[in-house]
Structure 1
Amino acid sequence: MTTQLPAHQGYQTTIADTMADTMAGAVADAEAEVAAMRLQRFPHELPTVYYDVAPSPDVPEIGMFFLVPGNPGLPQFYGPFLLRLRDLLPGWRLVCVSQAGGCASSTGPPEARRPVIGLDAQVVHKVAVLTRLLGAHGYLDTDRKVVLAGHSIGAWMVQQMVVALAAAGNRVPVSQAVLLFPTVRDIAQSPSGVRLTRLLGVAPWLPQAVATLAGGLRALPATPARWLVAAVMGGPPPHALEAAYDLAATPAAVAQTLGMAAEEMALVAAESPAVRNGFWPAWAERSPAGAARAVVAAERTGAQIAVFFAPSDHWVADRTRAEIMSDHGVHDHVYFAVVEGSSHAFCVKESELMAEQVAAVVV
């Protein structure tokens, strides 16, 4: 039963209607705030855009949360996630950098077609961007905290970054790693990986063919083109629709996305010795602060490595998830969570849920 409020000025309203209007207004406000976020071009030889959300001026800056997105690698998908983290993590600078080449048409002049920027080059790119941003914001050789977070293939890149930074002497004060729905091993054995591998096996020309079709989407009027993208995505929220439309209408970005996906199927297989020995073991051996965090890892807050899975993930096979948790769950400094209500593409509709999960482990 719906409870009615007293009539006022010739009309009646209800509690349910009021709540619905309030929620709709809050969603609209949030989407407007996302739309107002400043997406910047990063000065790098490879096409790069990024968000750099500074903490409130009245709060001392205590750390940087550096997010590496999944493929296709557009920061625009992560706007609501970053804004919710801003509320939950006062004092933290929030950065999300695109995959190199993951620049859609709305961020500037369309990029010319280029060879696919592969996984190894992407890792080098992320280390360079991170180091330059840390230098610009006064983080190098300090005790300020740096959290490296990665979504999907971005989680694999974060693992490689930790290993590479340690090998280089590590002036970067990495305090934690957060892996969101990580595709860090045997991606080709996941349900979607199996399908994509088979498809590429019979149609290796597919990435370039789809990129060519994307040029046709650019020729359509914007409104019907957006309707088409929305229909394919099943009615996404505005921020995700705009990001997907920008991607789909940019042939160079489409070719980069699919070309890198093909490389992921081939290269992201067994866990490398470098990751097994250089990422998962306690960083306490290299950082006294890490030893203190490891003590409270069982309570999740302070875990040096936090890993979040979905109950069912079409890019992470159930067996792969079980193997990762079995292999590395023995470490006290590693926290694993299977989050009910989450999915691999959390940044489309589950940003608030995952922001709350992540904020609970960041210290």
Structure 2
Amino acid sequence: MSSPENTFPPGFPPNFPPTNLIWHPSTCPGSVFSPTITPFPEPQKQQDEYLLLYIPGNPGMIGYYRSFLSRLSVLLRERKGTKSVSILGISHAGFYFQNGDEVGNPAEGEPRKGVLEEKAKYTDWKSLPQPWTLQQQSKMKAELLNWIGEWYRRQPGGRKLKVLLAAHSMGAWVSMEMVKSLGSNDRLVDQEEWGIRSTVDVLGGTLMFPSIVDIAKSKNGRVVMPMLSLHRSVPHLCQLFASFLFHVVLSASLGRWLVGRFTGFSALSSTYVSLDGSLSTTNEALDATFSFLTAPGAVEQSLSMAREEMHMIKEDTWSDEIWGLGGELEWVLYFGQGDDWVCDESRDRLIKNRGRRYVAGMESASSASTSVERDVKGNLLRRNKIEEAGIDVELDGVAKGAEKEWKPLMIVCEEGMPHGFCIKHGEVMAEKVAIWIENIIEGSGKRRRGENI
């Protein structure tokens, strides 16, 4: 039996792979996503609604991000400009585990009434050979957004759904590839390549510890690439070993204990808020890791994607429109300092060519780093503290002064935040992301009204 947060109204397209999800719908009056509130019947009373799609890194288990997304949902409901944001976090295809409290409806059989009848435009993903490729992961999510967008358009008001993207690690690369197919408007849609006409309006989003260029040159990439390049069968052999170990040799309890001891996750715990407001405590890092190691095909899927990442994620190949250089899209990229999955030289080159940054009281863009006087285990962020730290988009001095051309905001963390922030520091990152999301929504509203940002 699915928990309330996983009752996802639009369901999934036909023949979509079984997918674990975390769903935090908006509770604003009139929200068509809310499971408890009836939408206003009059279209003119319907407010703008936003869907935040969260895309994980590799391994693509959405369970790693439960406390992060829970905290982010609470913060967005508290902020005036983000009350109408619903959050959907989904695992990558191939990372599915069967657990009644955490599994979303995989949309077997007929879709719910009011969703697309033109099924031919959606791919029969289940019939394709596995493991799935990076490009397939991207197109799946583009099709999912179109499916949701069409469902939303058929609700009272008939509007185009506004979408925000949030992603971690290689999920950032998947997000950028999605924008190639969806874009912020039909002008950006590459219909010849993707065969998709956008039903959503993508505003931009936040990319955390993004592994989007030269992964093979990173510290971990230089270690992983030779191992994965030994033979094509390496991912499959690792899957056979994991399946034998956890399904034949070890019992579930002993296997979970060993994973906790080996990873150090046994001592961790996190609290998240359910849709009904109740608090739950869980060891999400251990839960997700054990699920990853025991889910059918997940190890092979992860290693196959990792090998592909080494060969595909190299130089920046996206157009100015995808980067939002004309102001159509608004991105915030948050890089780690000394990130083992990001090459510092490639990161700095990307920031120099594509980004902008802000340091309070300065108007130059000579450096991408931002100094933040706050420990990752410290008190909750306050808005004035974030403004002082220079991570508030609307206060960006570069955008208002030194450089007239709009560019993505790129920040290099100096708080010591790790690449795997979701393990211990999900709530701290949620504080940052909530402000960035609010600023992106506010900026898009100003652009629609023709105001200066």
The CA deviation at 1:221 is 1.7
1:100 maps to amino acid: A
Pair 1:228-2:261 in alignment = no
**Shift in alpha-carbon separation, 1:139–1:358, aligned structure 2, 3 A:** farther
Post-superposition CA distance 1:284-327 (Å, at most 9, x none):
3xx5xx6xxxxxxxxxxxxx110011112111011122111111
Q: How many residues align?
A: 308
Q: Is the 8 A contact 1:153 1:184 kept in 2?
A: yes
- In the TM superposition, what are the counterparts of 1:191-270 in structure 2 within 5 Å? 191-215=219-243, 216-219=245-248, 220-235=250-265, 236-237=268-269, 238-270=283-315
Do the aligned partners of 2:50 and 2:162 also contact (CA within 8 Å) in 1? Answer: yes
**Matched letter for residue 212 of structure 1:** L
Aligned pairs for 1:104-253 within 5 A: 104-106=97-99, 107=103, 115-138=130-153, 142=159, 144-165=161-182, 166-167=188-189, 168=191, 170-215=198-243, 216-219=245-248, 220-235=250-265, 236-237=268-269, 238-253=283-298
* Aligned counterparts of 1:251 and 1:213: Cα–Cα separation in 2: 12
What is the TM-score of this pair, normalised by structure 2?
0.63
State the SS of the aligned residue for 1:224.
helix
User: How far, CA to CA, are the matches of 1:305 and 1:257 in structure 2?
Assistant: 27
Moved more, 193-202 or 161-170: 161-170
Q: RMSD of the TM alignment (CA)?
A: 2.7
CA contact (8 A) 1:185 1:270 kept: yes
Distance 1:113 1:212 in 2: 21
| Unaligned ranges ≥5, structure 1 | 1-34, 291-303
| Shift in alpha-carbon separation, 1:36–1:56, aligned structure 2, 3 A | closer
Q: Bigger CA drift: 55-64 or 353-362?
A: 55-64
CA contact (8 A) 1:39 1:51 kept: no
The answer on whether the counterparts of 2:95 and 2:295 sit within 8 Å (CA) in structure 1 is no
User: Alpha-carbon deviation of 1:358?
Assistant: 0.8
* Residue 64 of structure 1 pairs with residue 51 of structure 2: yes
Q: Distance in 2 between matches of 1:346 and 1:56?
A: 27
Normalized per residue, the structure richer in helix is 1
- Number of the residue aligned with 1:350: 425
C-alpha displacement at 1:137, in angstroms? 3.5
TM-score after normalising by structure 1: 0.77
SS of 2:205 mapped into structure 1: strand
Q: Could you say what secondary structure the match of 1:344 adopts?
A: coil
> Percent sequence identity over matched residues?
29
- Corresponding residue number in structure 2 for 1:321: 347
Q: How far apart are the structure 2 equivalents of 1:143 and 1:157?
A: 22
Which residue, 46, 52, 73 being the options, matches 2:17?
46
CA distance in 1, matches of 2:338, 2:210: 13
CA displacement at 1:186 relative to structure 2: 0.6
In 1, Cα distance between equivalents of 2:200 and 2:239: 37
- The alignment status of 1:280 with 2:310, answered yes or no, reads no
Residues 281 and 36 of structure 1: CA distance in aligned 2, closer, same or farther (over 3 Å): closer
The 8 Å contact of residues 42 and 50 in structure 1, kept in 2 or not, is answered as: no
Partner of 1:17: none
- Aligned-residue offset at 1:53: 1.4
| 1:19-38: CA deviation from partner (whole Å, max 9, x where unpaired) | xxxxxxxxxxxxxxxx9853
